């Protein structure tokens, strides 16, 4: 959203009450979506509505000033933007950071302050893109994640005035040339967005170049309006109504599973453009958008957007491992955001926005003070993040070295000698991520990565990130020359799934089928299938067990008959991210264990696990390898065993713990390989 909520027209003469009401529609869509109301699964499109509005308003202002004064005063322009955007944004940022720091688990404080640093410096969207954040499905979203759109708009405001003034100067009075040039930029940005979607959805979602077309569409509408273009009467009113229907329809029909941004983004963007272009007509939805409640919400929409997310996320983050807020609580907090937003609007946003700044020296002072405030907050946050990174998070005592055994008893405290330590846990990934061996978004190369003696029996590891987390246990066996390890892993793409799965992305299907074809061309002795069954079955309308069984049978049938197929049982899904939980309970690590009967999300008798057992019983070429007894006992699955941290997140093993299971994995694979040789 960002400045669109506050970047209101300069004078009453140019005020568009219908646009003000449209802001209300946009922010309410976002609020309801973030509250977890499933009926509004596409409420995130409210941000796209704001982008179009911002592009329209800013372009209108620039064109109007150039037409009336012959030039654009950039210092005054940036001064006005700073006074309207930054006071509320920086106030909410500082207050949110301070409150969140006090209540969130210690493990998360460094990340909180890093996010605050990027936000203060106007680049949170770039940070989230670099972190490969999935805005629509993030498990533990940043408290400042909503600032990504503010980053996009701030970056747009830095570039667009200079670019547009240049276009106006080059094209002169040729209005068609100006419109064509801007349309070309919009088209290029949209094409880039579609192209990048197949490579990195995160960068496509967060980066300015791939979202600028939405603001550019608003700019095109502004150029058309400034040139006197208008569709009046009943036709114009009907088009405006159609636009509103498009926006609402996008909010109701899109979901977290919709590839976004992409072609689906056209629905809310073009709908908004129609409303802005035609919405002032008598037959348009202006009568609805002009109602007092809509005008009130529209007037505070910027502050409301800023405060609603931390009001929901900080209490949820404070719960840590103890759970998440129910939807009713999120709805209540979202409603409470309205009076809080009004206070922010009345006492922070409005005083700065209304303060006149006519002298050029005052404009310069405003820009300088704004930059100084942003940099100061950024420096404080960055310095604090560095200090936090050196604070220990453990109980102070050591634990004995890890002893691999079944039914392990968990360590009841966080050891000072734990490996990896809590801060290192998220990055304790298999080396194959760093080496580029795990295929990412949009990648479909089925060639795999081979390690070990080419003359040794080949073991093909095939699956998603759960296949990848077994690589540290398998690599030493390959390094010893006992096997050639053929690694075929792609994040969030299962090897066990219906091959024409409509939920799978094109790159997943292409990669999976390519790997199966390659394995059939040169059959390995053993194929290890390892997948996250929870992810693979969570969206199916069928019975989870039946779906997984059918998918597994179909995949096994597609694999070479000469190969022995071994299905690796999935690792348990913990009730919370262990590192976060353990940082809250360094003296009571048992609080972070998963109870076998009640707290395991999938349980150890999940339908998918039973399906795997059934397939192994009925197909003589399929075996099942279950190492659960090495990280769970009869009562629980501990987060810490001796001096080892078991999980790097809620369901992936740490590289360190996976490597420690090498002896048992070697022991279990030897008879399988020997059996294939003898056959």
Higher pLDDT: 659 or 596? It is 659
Model confidence at 512, pLDDT cuts 50, 70, 90, reads very high
In the chain, % of residues over pLDDT 90: 68
Tell me how crowded residue 176 is: count the other CB atoms within 10 A of its CB: 9
Is the confidence at residue 654, as pLDDT, over 70? yes
Q: Are 470 and 539 within one domain?
A: yes
Instruction: Specify the range with the lowest mean pLDDT, choosing from 164-168, 222-226, 558-562, 571-575.
Output: 571-575
Q: Which residue has the higher pLDDT, 600 or 273?
A: 273
Q: Is the dihedral of CA 483, 489, 494, 499 positive or negative?
A: negative
Could you tell me if 312 and 442 lie in one domain?
no
- Residue 503: pLDDT band (50, 70, 90) is very low
Of 355, 378, 401, the position where a domain reaches its end is 378
Q: Is residue 223 part of a domain?
A: yes
The predicted model scores a pTM of 0.86
Is 443 found in the same domain as 307?
no
Kindly indicate the confidence band of residue 321, based on its pLDDT and cuts at 50, 70 and 90.
low
Kindly state whether residues 334 and 432 are assigned to the same domain.
no
The residue-averaged pLDDT of 653-665 equals: 96
Q: Is the pLDDT of residue 220 over 90?
A: yes
Q: Whole-angstrom Cα distance, residue 3 to residue 23?
A: 11
Structural domain for 455, as ranges:
425-678
**What is residue 648's DSSP assignment?**
S
**pLDDT at 5 exceeding the cut of 60:** no
| Residue 319 confidence (pLDDT) | 78
345, 430: one domain: no
What are 166-188's pLDDT values in tens digits? 999 998 778 889 999 999 999 99
Please check whether residue 69 lies inside any domain of the structure: yes
pLDDT higher than 90, residue 446? yes
DSSP 13: G
User: What is the arithmetic mean of pLDDT over 19-42?
Assistant: 95
Mean pLDDT is lowest, of 218-222, 439-443, 477-481, for 439-443
358 confidence band (pLDDT: 50, 70, 90): low
Confidence check: pLDDT of 27 > 70? yes
What 433-441 contacts at long range (C-beta under 8 Å, 24+ apart), as own/partner pairs, is 433/468, 437/487, 437/489, 438/465, 438/468, 438/489, 438/490, 438/491, 439/489, 439/490, 439/491, 439/493, 439/507, 439/511, 440/200, 440/490, 440/491, 441/199, 441/200, 441/201, 441/202, 441/491, 441/507
Q: Which of 318, 347, 378 is the last residue of a domain?
A: 378
In the prediction, which pLDDT does 29 show?
98
The domain that contains 566 carries what CATH number?
Answer: 3.40.50.1110
Same domain, 431 and 373: no
Structural domain includes residue 506: yes
Question: Looking at the structure, do residues 465 and 530 belong to the same domain, yes or no?
Answer: yes
Q: Is 402 a domain residue? A: no
Are residue 27 and residue 145 in the same domain, yes or no? yes
Domains contained in the chain, number:
2
Chain centroid to CA 113:
18
The pLDDT tens digits for 78-100 are: 999 999 999 999 999 999 999 99
Q: Which residues contact 599 (CB under 8 A, 6 or more apart)?
A: 575
Comparing 310-319, 497-506, 633-642, the range with the smallest average pLDDT is 497-506
Question: Same domain for 326 and 462?
Answer: no
CB neighbourhood size of 588 (10 A): 13
Residue 396 falls within a domain, yes or no? no
């Amino acid at each position: 959203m960002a400045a669109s909520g506050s970047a209101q027209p300069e004078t009453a003469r140019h005020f568009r009450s219908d646009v003000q009401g449209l802001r209300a529609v946009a922010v309410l869509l976002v609020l309801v979506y973030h509250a977890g109301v499933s009926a509004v699964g596409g409420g995130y499109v409210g941000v796209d509505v704001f982008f179009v509005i911002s592009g329209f308003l800013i372009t209108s202002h620039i064109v109007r000033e150039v037409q009336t004064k012959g030039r654009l005063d950039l210092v005054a322009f940036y001064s006005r933007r700073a006074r309207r955007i930054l006071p509320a944004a920086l106030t909410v940022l500082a207050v949110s950071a301070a409150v969140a720091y006090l209540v969130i688990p210690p493990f998360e404080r460094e990340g909180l302050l890093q996010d605050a640093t990027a936000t203060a410096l106007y680049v949170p969207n770039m940070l989230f893109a670099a972190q490969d954040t999935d805005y629509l499905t993030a498990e533990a979203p940043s408290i400042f994640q909503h600032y990504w759109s503010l980053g996009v708009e701030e970056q747009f405001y830095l570039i667009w005035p200079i670019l547009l003034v240049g276009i106006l100067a080059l094209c002169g009075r040729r209005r068609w040339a100006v419109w064509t040039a801007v349309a070309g930029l919009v088209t290029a940005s949209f094409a880039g967005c579609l192209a990048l979607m197949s490579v990195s959805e995160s960068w496509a979602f967060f980066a300015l170049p791939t979202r600028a077309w939405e603001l550019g569409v608003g700019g095109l509408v502004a150029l058309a309006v400034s040139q006197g273009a208008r569709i009046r009467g009943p036709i114009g009113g009907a088009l405006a109504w159609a636009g509103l229907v498009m926006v609402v329809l996008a909010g109701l029909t899109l979901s977290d599973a919709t590839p976004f941004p992409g072609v689906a983004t056209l629905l809310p963007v073009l709908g908004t453009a129609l409303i802005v272009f035609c919405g002032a007509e008598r037959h348009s939805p202006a009568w609805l958008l002009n109602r007092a409640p809509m005008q009130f919400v529209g007037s505070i929409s910027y502050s409301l957007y800023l405060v609603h997310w931390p009001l929901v996320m900080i209490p949820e983050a404070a719960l840590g491992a103890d759970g998440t807020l129910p939807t009713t609580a999120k709805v209540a907090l979202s409603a409470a955001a309205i009076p809080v937003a009004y206070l922010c609007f009345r006492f922070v946003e409005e005083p700065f926005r209304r303060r006149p700044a006519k002298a050029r020296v005052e404009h310069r002072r405003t820009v300088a003070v704004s930059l100084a405030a942003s940099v100061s907050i950024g420096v404080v946050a960055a310095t604090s993040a560095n200090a936090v990174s050196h604070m220990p998070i453990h109980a102070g005592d050591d634990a004995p070295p890890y002893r691999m055994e079944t039914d392990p008893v968990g360590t009841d405290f966080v050891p000072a000698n734990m490996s990896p330590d809590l801060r290192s846990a998220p990055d304790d990934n298999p080396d194959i991520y760093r080496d580029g061996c795990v295929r990412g978004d949009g990648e479909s190369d089925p060639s795999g990565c081979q390690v070990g003696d080419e003359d040794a029996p080949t073991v093909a590891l095939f699956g998603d990130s759960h296949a990848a987390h077994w690589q540290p246990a398998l690599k030493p066996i390959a390094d010893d020359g006992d096997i050639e390890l053929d690694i075929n892993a792609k994040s969030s793409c299962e090897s066990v799934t219906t091959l024409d799965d409509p939920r799978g992305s094109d790159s997943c299907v292409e990669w999976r089928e390519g790997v199966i074809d390659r394995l059939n061309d040169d059959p390995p002795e053993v194929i290890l299938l390892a997948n996250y069954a929870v992810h693979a079955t969570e969206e199916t309308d069928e019975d989870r067990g039946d779906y997984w069984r059918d998918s597994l049978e179909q995949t096994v049938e597609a694999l070479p008959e000469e190969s022995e197929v071994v299905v690796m049982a999935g690792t348990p899904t913990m009730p919370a991210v262990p590192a976060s939980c353990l940082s809250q309970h360094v003296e009571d690590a048992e609080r972070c264990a998963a109870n076998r009967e009640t707290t395991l999300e999938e349980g150890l008798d999940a339908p998918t696990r039973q399906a795997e057992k059934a397939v192994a019983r009925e197909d003589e070429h399929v075996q099942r390898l279950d190492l659960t007894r090495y990280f769970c006992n009869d009562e629980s699955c501990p987060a810490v065993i001796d001096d080892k941290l078991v999980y790097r997140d809620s369901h992936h093993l740490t590289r360190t713990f996976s490597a420690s299971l090498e002896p048992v994995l070697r022991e279990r694979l030897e008879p399988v390989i020997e059996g294939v040789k003898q056959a």
